Each structure stands twice: as C-alpha cells, then as structure tokens.
Amino acid sequence: NAGVTQTPKFRVLKTGQSMTLLCAQDMNHEYMYWYRQDPGMGLRLIHYSVGEGTTAKGEVPDGYNVSRLKKQNFLLGLESAAPSQTSVYFCASSFMKTGGGTEAFFGQGTRLTVV
Amino acid sequence: GENVEQHPSTLSVQEGDSAVIKCTYSDSASNYFPWYKQELGKRPQLIIDIRSNVGEKKDQRIAVTLNKTAKHFSLHITETQPEDSAVYFCAASGRGSTLGRLYFGRGTQLTVWP
C-alpha cells in the first residue's frame, strides 16, 4: 500500500516551459487536492476534486490546470511556467470519515524551481 | 468560505515546557478540526483531530480543545521534546457546498530547545 505518490520529486523549469505533475493514490479516496507551500504562507489550495471527472478551483488556481480522468490519479499542469510558481507542491487525497470530516493523506511533495 | 487563522507563527520553548497553538475559524458549519505536523523536508501528517460534538481530546502528550461558541480550537503539547520541533497546521473541514475541502491555517513553527 503506497498511499499517495507524486511524480517527479524535483524539477527545474525555464520560464515559459510546461510540465505536468502526477499524483496517484491507491486508497480509493474520493477527494484529491493540489496544494502549494511557500515560506510563511502555509498550504494554499490550488485545485481539488470531489470525484472522478470533477475538478474545482481553490484559493490560487491561476496559471494551473488539473484533470481527474481516473479516480486514482490527479494531474496538475503548468502551461507556461513563471518564477512565481517556484514552490513545493503537495498532492493529497482524503475520504469522508464516519460522522463527518475528511482526513487527508499527503504525498511526499515536489520541489519545483522556475528559472 | 471558511477562514482559519492560526497563532503564533513561531514558538520557541525549552525542553519539558508546554506549548500551545491557537486557531480560530469563521464558518459555523465546520464540524471537524484536524492538526497536522510537518517535520523539515517531509509531508504533513495527521497527529490528532476533534469533532464539533467533543470539547477535548487527548493522546499521550498532545491534546486538543474546541470551543464551538467562540469558534476556536487549540493544540496543547506537554513535556515538549526536541523531536516535537516541526511546523504544525490546524485545519477545518466543512459541510454543504464546501464538503470535502480542508481549510488550513498558515502554520506554527515550533522549536524545542534542549
């Protein structure tokens, strides 16, 4: 049981390049999320999905796109990378607990640098 | 939507002392409040959680309290140890239109000095 796995772990991009971050979970969770973490800013939600085929915007969606074609995968795309997108990206998945509330499980993170 | 505020942003304590981190939330529909610990270079991991129908929960040296009326909840760590040094995040989970979302505070960097 691998949990939540992100690919790649590190990446350096040039301004204007595109890339896709892959998140895979093997826990059959309905909900999946992409966060970015910057110093002093906590975890900011980029996009999320409440089920296969659905996506929704979070707090900071500009410059990113996502897709959830399969329940176990959630892809984050950067069409034209900018230095402001230099960050650590975390994927997470969660399930609805009995009695309410969602417990999130995080991937190991992707450190992205845009030069 | 929900707004979670967390204080302080940094906290330094001597080994053996207690540490308290406080959070407030804005949406009365939130009913689940987890706390995550993130060690340096690692992923956030759940350490304790509390539901809106419970006022306090304890797990060994850590405890969480919730005041629904005032919309605030706190993490208490007693007998702190150097391995408690990490960033701690509080979060709130709602219902209705925000079902499935977790709203995080900005985090508290806790440093425990030996």
Would you write out chain A's pLDDT as a tens digit for each of its 115 residues?
Answer: 689 999 999 999 999 999 999 999 999 999 999 999 998 888 999 999 999 999 999 999 999 999 999 999 999 999 999 999 999 999 999 988 777 778 899 999 999 999 9
Are the Cβ atoms of A104 and B32 closer than 8 angstroms?
Answer: no
A27 touches chain B (CB under 8 A): no
For chain B, helix, strand, coil in percent to 5 are 5, 55, 40
What confidence score (pLDDT) does residue B28 get? 87
Are the Cβ atoms of B31 and A100 closer than 8 angstroms?
Answer: yes
Answer with the residue of higher pLDDT: B99 or A88.
Answer: A88
| Distance in angstroms (rounded) separating the CA atoms of residues B9 and A48 | 26
| Distance in angstroms (rounded) separating the CA atoms of residues B66 and B53 | 9
B51 touches chain A (CB under 8 A): yes
Question: Is residue B96's pLDDT more than 70?
Answer: no
